[in-house]
Amino acid sequence: MKLLSSKASCNTHGQDSSYFLGWEEYEKNPYDEALNTKGIIQMGLAENQLSFDILESWLAKNQDVAGFKRDGKSIFRELALFQDYHGLPSFKKALVDFMAEIRGNKVTFDPNHIVLTAGSTSANETLMFCLAEQGDAFLLPTPYYPGFDRDLKWRTGVEIVPIQCTSANNFQITESALQQAREEAKKRNLRVKGVLVTNPSNPLGTTMSRNELNLLIDFIKVNKDMHLISDEIYSGTVFSSASFISVMEILKERNYLKDSYSDAAQVWNRVHVVYSLSKDLGLPGFRVGAIYSNNDEVIAAATKMSSFGLVSSQTQYLLSAMLGDKKFTKYYLSENLKRLKRRQRMLISGLQKAGISCLKSNAGLFCWVDMRHLLSSNTFEAEMELWKKIVYQVKLNISPGSSCHCSEPGWFRVCFANMTEETLNLAMTRLTTFVADINVANESKMSSRRTRSLPSWVFRLSSRNHREQEER
C-alpha cells in the first residue's frame, strides 16, 4: 500500500538542487565565530540582517504596539480572534503606501487591489493557480531564482520555459531570446500563459532597463492571452546609480489606463506585481507577501485562495503601525541602502583581491560572481567540481549558476547581507587562499608541460654540460 500521494512523493519539488543541497551541508557544520570557527559560512542565503537595530529601536520606542495595545489597552483578544482573509484595511493601506515610497511615489497603489499572502512564495504560486492550467507554461529569463522550480511548478503543474540570456549583454532580455523561448514552448506543445520576471533580479542583482520592460509589455500586447508577472520583492534594495523602474511605472508612462477600452489598455488587466517584506525589511519569518493586480477577477480569485496562506492579524497590526510611521520608513529605507551598498563594496573588494570579478550590479543582497577562469573545463561538470571544493574545502556555501539555470558554466551567486563584517572578511580570506593554491597548482602543471614538450636534444645538451662542469 502506497503511503504518500503522487503529488507528495513526486520529484518535482526541486529539493535535490545544488541550491538546497548546499544549505543541507551548511546545517550539518555551520560556522560560528565562537563555537565552530572551522565550519561552513552561509553565503547562499539571501537574507538582509544589516538593519535589525533600526527595527528593534522602533519597537523599543513603540512598546504599546509591540505589546498589542491601543491607547494603552490590550487588544490581544481582538487580534487573536479576528481573521479576515481580506486583511486589515489599516495594514493594506500602510503596505501600498510603503510600496509607493520605495518607487519614489512615481506610481500609487490601490489598497483594494492588493491580496495578502504568506510570503512571495505563496503569492507566486497563487498567481499560477489563478492564471494557468496544469501543463501550461510561463517564460522566465535565465538565470532565475532556483526556488521558482518549486514555487511555480510543484503543486500547480505549470511548466517553466527559460528565456536564455547570456553574459554577452550582461544577461539582459532580448526580443530574439523571448521569441526563441516561445518557439521552444510550441515544440513542447505547451501553451504559454505569460512571462514572469524578477526586478531587481535574483540572482543577478541588477535592475531591468526601460527597454526590457517595454519589450515585455509589447510582447503581451501582441499576445492578448498572455500575462506579465513582475516579482519586485527586492525593489527596496536598489542602492546605486541606475534607479529601479517598476512595471507599473511603464504602464503609467504608456498611458495604459484601466478606464480605457482600447486594445493597448487591456494590457493593464494582464500585468501583476508580487511583493514581500522579506528582503526590504529583512522579515522573512513574518511571512508577509502580496499580489497587486489591476484585474478585478484576478484579485477576487486570489483573495479566495489566500485563505490557505494568511498573514496573522498580530503581524498585520504591528506592521501597519511600523509602516505607517513615515519618519521611520524614510530613515530606514535611506540607511538600509547605505549599509547594503557598503557591504556589497566589501564583497567586491574581497573578490577582486582573490582575482575574481562580478557582474556590475546595483541591487539585491548578493553578487553574480564570475569564476569561469577557475574551471578545469568549460562544462557544468567542472562547475559542480569547483562548487564542491568551495563547499567542502573552503567551507563556503555559495550557489552554482547551474542551480539558477544559467546557460554558461562558471557563474555563482554569493550573498553578503546575512553575516557580520568579520565573517565576510574571513570568507574572503578563505577564498583568496583557495584561489592562490589553484594558481600555484596550475603554474606547476604548465611548467611541467613546458618541460615535457622540450625536444630530447635539450636534455642531452643539459646533461653533457653538467658532466663537463663536474670534470672541471
Q: Give the pLDDT confidence of 95-139 residue by residue, as tens digits.
A: 999 999 999 999 999 999 999 999 999 999 999 999 999 999 999
Domain that holds residue 193: 64-329
Q: Are residues 242 and 389 in the same domain?
A: no
Q: Are residues 101 and 176 in the same domain?
A: yes
Question: Which of 70-84, 162-176, 391-405 bottoms out in mean pLDDT, i.e. has the lowest?
Answer: 70-84
Tens digit of each residue's pLDDT (9 = 90 or more) over 64-83 = 888 888 888 888 888 888 67
pLDDT of residue 12: 67
Q: Is the pLDDT of residue 145 over 50?
A: yes
Nearest to 43 by CA among 416, 367, 429, 393: 416
Q: Which of 329, 355, 379 is at the close of a domain?
A: 329
Residue that is written with C-alpha cell 512595471 in the block: 247
Mean pLDDT of 211-236: 95
Q: Is the pLDDT of residue 386 over 50?
A: yes
Q: Is 471 a member of any domain?
A: no
Q: Are residues 258 and 274 in the same domain?
A: yes
| CATH of residue 167 | 3.40.640.10
pLDDT of residue 7: 75
Q: Are residues 339 and 297 in the same domain?
A: no
For 358, the enclosing helix (H) or strand (E) is strand 357-358
Domain count, the chain: 2
Q: Are residues 288 and 171 in the same domain?
A: yes
Active site residue ranges:
145, 231, 233, 279
Q: Give the dihedral of Cα atoms 38, 44, 47, 48; nearest 10 deg.
A: 70
| CATH of residue 19 | 3.90.1150.10
Q: Are residues 84 and 177 in the same domain?
A: yes
Q: Which residues pair with 289 in a beta bridge?
A: 117, 276
Tens digit of each residue's pLDDT (9 = 90 or more) over 262-305 = 666 688 899 999 999 999 999 988 899 999 999 999 999 999 99
Q: Is 360 a member of any domain?
A: yes
Q: Which of 276, 304, 329 is at the close of a domain?
A: 329
Polymer length in residues for the chain: 472
Q: Are residues 94 and 190 in the same domain?
A: yes
> Do 47 and 284 touch, CB atoms closer than 8 A?
yes
Confidence tier at 260 by pLDDT (50, 70, 90) = low
Mean pLDDT of 208-226: 94
Confidence tier at 458 by pLDDT (50, 70, 90) = very low
Q: Are residues 241 and 339 in the same domain?
A: no
Q: Is 230 a member of any domain?
A: yes
Q: What is the pTM of this model?
A: 0.89
Q: Is 157 a member of any domain?
A: yes
Mean pLDDT of 447-455: 57
Q: How far apart are CA 336 and CA 365, in angstroms?
A: 11
Tens digit of each residue's pLDDT (9 = 90 or more) over 306-361 = 888 888 888 998 999 999 999 999 999 999 999 999 999 999 999 999 999 999 99
pLDDT of residue 459: 47
More confident site: 285 or 434: 434
Q: Are residues 47 and 69 in the same domain?
A: no
Percent of the chain residues past pLDDT 90, beyond the cut: 71
Q: Which residues pair with 358 in a beta bridge?
A: 369
Confidence tier at 169 by pLDDT (50, 70, 90) = very high
User: In a 3-state reduction of DSSP, which class is residue 251?
Assistant: helix
pLDDT of residue 215: 97
Q: Are residues 184 and 40 in the same domain?
A: no
E-only strand ranges, 191-331 = 192-198, 227-231, 271-276, 289-293
Q: Is 216 a member of any domain?
A: yes
Q: Are residues 200 and 73 in the same domain?
A: yes
Mean pLDDT of 235-262: 82
More confident site: 249 or 71: 249
pLDDT of residue 452: 57
Q: Is the pLDDT of residue 39 over 70?
A: yes
Mean pLDDT of 444-460: 56
Average pLDDT, the chain: 89
Q: Is the pLDDT of residue 441 over 60?
A: yes
Q: Are residues 358 and 305 in the same domain?
A: no
Q: Is 128 a member of any domain?
A: yes
Q: Is 227 a member of any domain?
A: yes
Q: Is 167 a member of any domain?
A: yes
pLDDT of residue 262: 64
Tens digit of each residue's pLDDT (9 = 90 or more) over 192-202 = 999 999 999 99
Q: Is the pLDDT of residue 14 over 70?
A: no
Cα 418 to Cα 50, 421, 456, distances in angstroms: 7, 10, 58
